[in-house]
Amino acid sequence: MIERLAAPHLWTKQISDCGLCGMIDRRGGRFSGRRLIESIRLMHERSNGLGGGFAGYGIYPRFPEHYALHIMYHGEWAKEDTEGYLPTVFTVDAVEPIPTQPHPGVKDAPLLWRYFVRLKTPAEDVDAEQKAVIEAVMHVNAGIEGAFVFSSGQNMGAFKAVGYAADIGEFFRLDEYEGYCWTAHARFPTNTQAWWGGAHPFCLLDYSIVHNGEISSYGINRRYLEQFGYRCTLHTDTEVMVYLFDLLVRRHKLPLELACKVIAAPFWRDIDRAGRDPGEAELLRLLRTTYASALVNGPFAVIFAFNGGMVGLNDRIKLRPLVAGESGAVLYIASEESALHVMCDSLERVWAPPAGEPVIGLLEAAGGTARTALQQQAVQVLS
């Protein structure tokens, strides 16, 4: 005990920090990124200046069907190599530096460029097109030294850096953008180095993840994903989370609710208690056994966003904070209730989502299919 008190730096490690916030207008109304900057600024003490970032949806109305590739380069040589490769796969219709402004809180920026592209050879269908885009992203990130594609979706973009989150939002001039959905992250890394590519959000196509916590199942999750062709190159555990959602939702066509039950799987005892509904119990057993290696262990709170929606999700013991609020058609999610009130000063409802149960906000225009039909389809696929 005396030794411990004499060296307090050995036992004061912060493991519950990182700040998250997100906001979606389910009717598709667009709003400035300024509201997220101010919300994440309120959670300044949840981070330590080693990373932050934002994702915005609906921000590129001039190029709604193009893939917006946001790329950071650590030198002109990397830019030359990448710009030599991109035209072999894509038709590049617009190229420009990502707009920034000098900010004392953001230093040592790499070269930041964006490219609005279409596949050079049209694909047979959407799945084939997305596969080709992912292969190109993986090729750049794993094969071109000094180049990193950190955003690759349609009509959306990620903006991230080393620094405090609010400073990063101002550095990228996000108050000049408007979108129907925004997420933000303030980072407090505990196990990985701080570098621009390792800041949140992590993206693949239009999927993005911001995360508070630690993924202790990273090793098995990574090996599982590599069987499906994913390459983990970003030196952080959070990377697997966005790939898991991509695999489950986009490739395996699971409904969002069921994908969340894979990632934050119910305990076996709770599945047994679901025996009152044999169909539900069967489904949960199939999910738990089929996707055993996709179960995420460890404390986590995430906000998952995509074209058409936003999801908040906790681990099954709720070891990381997450609160939600609503006002009209707008859904808000954050690490702290105070951050919700910054985004909206007239909330009609505020609640703490139960452990492992997702909060899902979908664009009304996206429509949907009955939950029961989707569950029946999933049972058939898994069987």
Q: Cite the active site residues.
A: 18
What is the Rg, in whole angstroms, of the alpha carbon atoms belonging to the chain? 20
* Distance in angstroms (rounded) separating the CA atoms of residues 130 and 228: 14
- For 182, what's the count of Cα atoms within 13 Å in the CB-facing half-sphere? 26
Token pair, residue 53, equals 């970032």
Q: For tokens 């420009």, what's the residue?
A: 96
* Distance in angstroms (rounded) separating the CA atoms of residues 268 and 28: 39
Residue 334's closest CA among 322, 342, 316? 322
Inter-residue contact 234 to 197 (CB < 8 Å):
yes
Our measurement of the distance from residue 200's CA atom to the centroid of its chain's CA atoms, rounded to an integer in Å, reads 7
Q: Which residues contact 359 (CB under 8 A, 6 or more apart)?
A: 311, 312, 313, 322, 324, 331, 333, 353
